[in-house]
Every structure is written in structure tokens, then in C-alpha cells.
Structure 1
Amino acid sequence: MKYLLLVYIDQELLEAVPAEEFDAQMRHCIGQADALQAQGTLLGFNRLEAPAQARTVRTREGRTSVFDGPFAETKEMLAGYNLIEADSLEQAVELARQFPWTRYGSMEVRPVADMDAERVRVGA
């Protein structure tokens, strides 16, 4: 089954990390990602740009609005994702624990819905 590991970062915690330590953690993370990809466990991953560069699009009653940045006001911002293949939610959680970013925010582990089954269900 596929799981999305959503990386949320508390920017204040991350900014307190010395640049050399951050770079070492990023190298470790990239190396770990490369190893997981080689095993077929990690299907894709990316780091997101800063929330200030984001736009939120919302349509209500036929009118579309575009807002600067993320819409939700929260201390932790979505910073990236990892798409993985795991045998269980527990295994996906264990993989999430191995990434250093849980020290500076959190990682949400969410099962990915089977869109082929959904396609059949709705007749698309």
C-alpha cells in the first residue's frame, strides 16, 4: 500500500539549527532517500519552497479567490513529502521516524487512496 509522509516544519525550530548541522542532516536525508528508492520503498519525494511563495485558490458560490501563502494559520508549515510503499501503517510510521525532520516539526503519515478503485466506483 502507498503512504504519503507529509513533512511539517516549525520554522523557528529549524532556524535555530546551525547551517553545518542542517546541511549534514540534509545530506543524510538525501542518502537515506536514495537508498529507499533503490529498494523500491520510496516512490517519490520533494522539498517545497517557502509558504510565502504559495497561493491558495478557493471557489465559493461561483467566485474564485486567490490568497497569498497558505490559507491555514499554523505554526508548522508543510515543507515536503515522501511517497512510499509499505506493508502496513505501522511500517510507514517506522519509516517516518527515520527522517530527521520530526525533530523540527512533525510527519503526518496518511494512506493514499486507490484511485483505480475510485475510478471504477464512480464509473469514470
Structure 2
Amino acid sequence: MKYLVLIYGGDRPSGSPADLAAVRALTKFKGELAVSGELVSSEGLSLPGDGRVVQVREGARVVTDGPYGEAKEQLAGFFLVDVADDARAQQVAGHVSTIIGDRVELRPTVLST
């Protein structure tokens, strides 16, 4: 079963020792998931201002530069894992939550290949 662990963060990385330690710990955990065969993909995301909304209106593509709205937290990265069951997915998400010191969102994928 595939699950997405969504990591949220502020709109600007602080570069604090705690943030750097979290990045190192997440990188280590990413390696552990890769060794176990459970890691499908994991990436950090650029800042919201680098994003764009793309939509088609009346047959024309309309691209709007970000950021899109004021929010204290933005999607900062993710882990896509392929695990045996929901209990393992919750365990992985809990470990990520512990590392970053905040909540994460856990969502199963709809279609898995």
C-alpha cells in the first residue's frame, strides 16, 4: 500500500541548528526506508513563491505565479512510501513527525501500480 507523508513548514527556512539537525535526521531516515525497500520517493520542495498554478480556461492555458495566499505553513516536502499496511504507514509518519517536531499529514494513494 502506498502512502504519502506530507511535511509542512514555514515559508522561509530559518537555518537554525534545530532545522539543520532535522534535515540530517530526515536524510538518515530516508536512507533507512530505502534500505528496507519501503521508500518510493522523497523530496523537499522549493519555496511557495517559486510555484505556479496552471489551469485551462476557455481553451487557453493560464499560469499564475505564486504565492497563492497567506498561510503560516506551506507544503515543504514529502515521503512516498510503499508499506505493508496502515499501521506501518502510521509508524513512518510518526517517526517523521518526531524528527521535525510537528504534525505531518498521512494520506493513502488512490491508485497504486
Q: TM-score, normalised by structure 2?
A: 0.81
Residue in 2 aligned with 1:75? 72
Structure 1 counterpart SS, 2:84: coil
1:30 maps to 2:16 = no
Alignment correspondent of 1:110: 107
Unmatched 5+ stretches in structure 2? none
> Residue 88 of structure 2 aligns with which residue?
91
CA distance in 1, matches of 2:52, 2:35: 34
Aligned ranges 1:47-86 → 2 under 5 Å = 47-71=44-68, 73-86=70-83
Matched residue, 1:101:
100
Deviation at 1:58, TM superposition (A): 1.4
Q: How much has 1:71 moved relative to structure 2?
A: 3.7
Which structure is larger by alpha-carbon Rg, 1 or 2?
1
Q: How many residues align?
A: 111
Cα distance change of structure 1 residues 101 and 59 upon mapping to structure 2, 3 Å threshold: farther
Q: Percent identity?
A: 31
Map of 1:33-44 to 2, 5 A cutoff?
Answer: 33-44=30-41
Provide the aligned C-alpha RMSD in A.
2.2
Change (3 A) 1:115 1:25: closer
Pairwise CA distance, 1:52: 0.8
Deviation at 1:2, TM superposition (A): 0.9
Contact (CA 8 Å) 1:56, 1:70: kept in 2 or not? no
Structure 1 residue 4 and structure 2 residue 1: aligned? no
Question: In the alignment, what sits opposite 1:119?
Answer: none
